[in-house]
Amino acid sequence: MSNPLFSDQVLSHVNRIEVYQPGKPISELQREHNLFRISKLASNENPLGSSPKVVKAIQSELMNLGRYPDGNNYYLKQALADFLQRDVSQIALGNGSNELLEMAARAFAGSGDEIVYSQYAFAVYAISAQVVGATGVEVPAKDWGHDLAAMADAITERTKLVYLANPNNPTGTFFGKTEWEDFIQKVPKHVIVVLDEAYTEYVTDPDYADGLDYLDAYPNLLVSRTFSKAYGLAALRVGYMVGHPEVIGYINRIREPFNINHLAQVAAQTALTDQAFVKKTVELNQQGMVSLMRFFDDMDLEYIPSQGNFICVRLGESAPQVNQALLAEGVIVRPVAKQGTFAEFLRVSIGLQKENSHFMDALRKILSRSA
């Protein structure tokens, strides 16, 4: 960048923010390597795309782009309320759940406040704390996952909000009912707990603690979910948050009036009606997960057991080189850290069978070359 002109004017906490690094887009790799076959396993997207019903529903709305969308998201909220067995007053919608995660910080925390989250948690939590000028308190992970007991201990009088991801991205780890219940009981009633369940549809472990079951007992709990992953609508940006009507009301006050565009509302509402698509997505994910774990076992590679649609595999200090070599083979995966032991891992999203095979063949080839 050229000499900064406004570094004295920009808020210092904004100046310190490191820009979120998204997964490499397919078109970028195509430009760089002139590759024909590319498998993008970098952003935990749905490899099946989205439900054909959604595509049809959007197509029939293409003549209605001249008017503003319904700012109250009436039909989508109603559909969600029915689906979740909740009242519409308990639901807020976001331009992706990402926006809701940040709105929670904007509504409840500011300069001088603390926001608690785990080491190796979703990068957006630290960014959201920085955006509002709050102090981010990162609690060391345990076995790559959230150490909920330590997180409860990290709460002080200055803590306004805690972010939790269950399952967590990028590690794929999850926490069970006992650990969760111990935690939420210990959290002071005035501290907002944002439980990010972006991957809840993929979870197979019966000990998983579903946040919705705890909303009635804990008015300080907000559960966020998304249409970006199992519903396959990442491009359209729709997420939702469920909580106590008063807390949801505060989120809605700072929401931009038209944050969910019309096509996104129609798409999400239709996507909810196609649970068969979600089921197919989850089944494909389970098959892919099993074949990747088997492959890692065969190759003697360590991995972090995952409840999401992705898995982290340990490649040691040469992980960045392996990543580059995978790119040269047309496989995009995700480096998860720049330094420390976690940088020895790469995160691989579960794709279609042929994409998973592309990855496995490429990795086998790369590792046999360096052996």
Ligand X SMILES: *Cc1c(COP(=O)(O)O)cnc(C)c1O
Shortest Å distance, C-beta 32 to ligand X? 25
Q: Which of residues 103-162 bind ligand X (CB under 6 A)?
A: 122
Contact of 17 with 133, CB cutoff 8 Å: no
Cβ proximity to ligand X, 220 vs 226, nearer residue: 226
By DSSP bridging, strand 159-165 and strand 192-196 are parallel
Shortest Å distance, C-beta 349 to ligand X? 10
Cβ proximity to ligand X, 228 vs 285, nearer residue: 228
Q: Beginning with the edge strand found earlier in the chain, give each strand of the sheet holding 239-242 in spatial order.
A: 91-94, 239-242, 221-226, 192-196, 159-165, 114-118, 135-139
x-or-dash string of contact with ligand X, 231-270, rule CB under 6 A: ---x----x-------------------------------
Shortest Å distance, C-beta 353 to ligand X? 23
Of the residues 47, 69, 96, 211, which one makes contact with ligand X according to CB under 6 A? 96
With CB under 6 A as the contact rule, which of the stretches 60-68, 81-89, 92-100, 358-366 interacts with ligand X?
92-100
Q: Which of residues 18-77 bind ligand X (CB under 6 A)?
A: 44
The C-alpha atoms of residue 233 and residue 227 are separated, in whole angstroms, by 5
With CB under 6 A as the contact rule, which of the stretches 21-29, 128-136, 223-231, 295-303 interacts with ligand X?
223-231
Identity at 195, one-letter amino acid code: L
Residue nearest to ligand X as judged by C-beta position: 96
Q: Beginning with the edge strand found earlier in the chain, give each strand of the sheet holding 310-314 in spatial order.
A: 303-304, 310-314, 345-349, 334-335
Q: For residue 160, what are the contacts with CB-CB under 8 A and spacing of at least 6?
A: 108, 109, 113, 114, 115, 134, 191, 192
Beta strands, E only, the chain: 39-40, 91-94, 114-118, 135-139, 159-165, 192-196, 221-226, 239-242, 303-304, 310-314, 331-332, 334-335, 345-349
Q: Which of residues 263-302 bind ligand X (CB under 6 A)?
A: none
Q: For residue 219, what are the contacts with CB-CB under 8 A and spacing of at least 6?
A: 189, 243, 244, 246, 247
Of the residues 169, 173, 259, 281, which one makes contact with ligand X according to CB under 6 A? 169
97 near ligand X, judged by CB under 6 A: yes
**Number of amino acids touching ligand X (CB under 6 A):** 14
Of the residues 200, 226, 269, 270, which one makes contact with ligand X according to CB under 6 A? 226
Of the residues 165, 203, 313, 326, which one makes contact with ligand X according to CB under 6 A? 165
Cβ proximity to ligand X, 45 vs 147, nearer residue: 45
Shortest Å distance, C-beta 347 to ligand X? 10
With CB under 6 A as the contact rule, which of the stretches 63-71, 208-216, 225-233, 355-363 interacts with ligand X?
225-233
Measuring CA to CA, which residue among 245, 310, 240 is closest to residue 272?
240
Contact of 269 with 233, CB cutoff 8 Å: no
Structure-derived torsion over alpha carbons of residues 178, 98, 333, 233, reported in degrees to the nearest 10? 100
With CB under 6 A as the contact rule, which of the stretches 90-98, 147-155, 317-325, 336-344 interacts with ligand X?
90-98
Shortest Å distance, C-beta 100 to ligand X? 8
In DSSP notation, 126-172 reads HHHHHHTTPEEEEEPPBTTB--HHHHHHT--TTEEEEEEESS-TTT-
Cβ proximity to ligand X, 108 vs 227, nearer residue: 227
**Binding positions for ligand X, rule: CB under 6 A:** 44, 96-98, 122, 165, 169, 196, 198, 226, 228-229, 234, 239
